Amino acid sequence: MAAGQGTVSIIVPTHNRAAYLKRALDSIRAQSYPRMEIIVIANGCIDDTEQVARDFQRRVESQTRPAADAQIAFTLRVFKETLGGARARNIGMDCARGEYVAFLDDDDFWHPDALSAQVELLNRHDCALVSNCSFYLYERDGREFARPAGAADTGAAELRFGDLSCENKLDGFSRCLTRRSHLGALRIDEGLDALQDWDLWLKILAATGGAARINPLRHVYGRIDNDRISNRYPQIASAQRRFLQSWRGQLDAPSIAYHEMRNRCFRIKARAQTAAGACGHPANPKQQSPRMLSTLISVVARWPQTAKVIFRSSERGDIKRYIHYMLLPLLDINAARMRLWRVGVGKKRVRKLPAALGGM
């Protein structure tokens, strides 16, 4: 086995997304990296998820090995109850036996060189974590397109614990890879409905004292739609409070003030979402307008204070971040993006999926 090519354990939690899971698993099988252990945690599924996973397992076990050192192992754990993302991933980490550990959400998928690039970067810089840049996926006129998710990082700068104290600059689970030795007994806080990835990245950086880097190549494709925890603001607001309680003792004063500001923003957004009946509890129409007006007044009244906190934190000077948090309590940013892209705004940034990926 070549140096730096130890097995990567890939943890895939899934819940009722059989249609997406097939492409996610196929993108793992298509990796140029030779040694992988795939761990699928199916929980609370009532669709064809288990069948999709079993079919994939049969294909993996019957395939001809392209090289002597190539190896794909597959483990499927099925739970009747819905575990939640944190518990499912923790079970996956308990099962992992590879030198490296990566995560893939069931509705995301990877470029074929994703793991090879991450392992190479991790070993070259002896990092605690490596993250990939990514694309947003969306549909228009029955076709699927990709758009860059933010500006691509140069990959040159190190990110340490303090750099992630205000923002999760490494982003979601599907983007990151670490060593299993860095994880040790570290696990995700299962009381978090959101921010689980950020919680784990901070734990790894705090425990190792090491740095993270971002691969500038866009090797992750992530779906942006309304069926995401990031759109469920009551859950986000609750997770924000728990997250701050957990990390308050390790954050500096500007970072704590920044998180408190975020908490206020998400609580305002949660009230607005509930008033609009977006959480399955339709509000009385006669009460919606006064509540929304109250929300608007609350946001406007806090703008000066919010701006002060942002520019005092480690995020100061980031005008995009400033605008984002000014708008966040009133506007669903992802939904606004989708509406604009679906009508064709900003066509120059649209990318067609590579044939090898779009055909999965």
Nearest-CA neighbor of 29 among 18, 20, 38, 21?
38
Rounded to an integer, what distance in angstroms lies between the CA atom of residue 14 and that of residue 20?
10
Q: How far is Cα 276 from Cα 235, in angstroms, rounded to an integer?
A: 16
Q: Quick: pLDDT tens for 275-308.
A: 666 444 444 444 445 555 666 676 667 667 666 6
Reading the chain (360 residues) residue by residue, the pLDDT tens digits are: 455 679 999 999 999 999 899 999 999 999 999 999 999 999 989 989 999 999 999 988 887 555 545 688 999 999 998 899 999 999 999 999 999 999 999 999 999 999 999 999 999 999 999 999 998 888 777 788 888 887 666 555 789 998 898 888 899 999 999 999 999 999 999 999 899 999 999 999 999 999 999 998 999 999 876 566 666 778 888 999 999 999 999 998 888 888 887 888 788 777 777 766 644 444 444 444 555 566 667 666 766 766 666 666 555 555 666 666 666 656 666 777 777 777 776 666 777 776 666 544
67 phi/psi in degrees, rounded to 5? -150, 160
Predicted local confidence at residue 268, as pLDDT: 77
* 269 within 8 A of 298, measured Cβ to Cβ: no
Which H or E run includes 192? none
User: Is residue 74 within a helix (H) or strand (E), and if so which, with residue range?
Assistant: strand 71-79
Q: Which residues pair with 223 in a beta bridge?
A: 137
pLDDT at 37: 96
What pLDDT was estimated at residue 288? 47
Instruction: Identify the DSSP state of 210.
Output: -
Q: Which of 90, 74, 82 is nearest to 7 (CA)?
A: 74
Q: What is the CA radius of gyration of the chain?
A: 21
Structure tokens at 24: 């996610």
Helix runs in 45-167, H state only: 49-62, 85-95, 114-125
Nearest Cα residue to 262 out of 302, 227, 293: 302
Q: In whole angstroms, what is the distance from residue 44 CA to residue 84 CA?
A: 9
Distance CA 26, CA 212 (A): 28
Residue 181 phi/psi, 5-degree rounding, is: -65, -30
Specify which residues 77 forms β-bridges with. 41
Comparing CA positions, the residue from 179, 201, 301, 192 lying closest to residue 244 is 192
CB 44 within 8 A of CB 81: yes
Distance CA 220, CA 339 (A): 22
CA 332 to each of CA 106, 247, 338: distance values in angstroms, whole numbers, following the listed order: 23, 27, 10
How many angstroms separate the CA atoms of 276 and 172, rounded?
28
**What single string gives the DSSP state of each residue in 312-340?**
HSTTTT-HHHHHHHHHTTT--HHHHHHHH
Contacts of 357 (CB under 8 A, 6+ apart): 27, 109, 111, 221
Q: How far apart are CA 341 and CA 114, in angstroms?
A: 26
At 136 the three-state DSSP class reads strand
> Distance of CA 83 to CAs 28, 48, 79, Å?
23, 18, 8
Q: List beta partners, residue 147.
A: 136
Q: Residues 216-249: pLDDT tens digits?
A: 899 999 987 656 666 677 888 899 999 999 999 9
Note the pTM of the prediction, 2 decimals: 0.86
40 to 11, 12, 276, 320: CA distances (angstroms): 6, 5, 37, 37
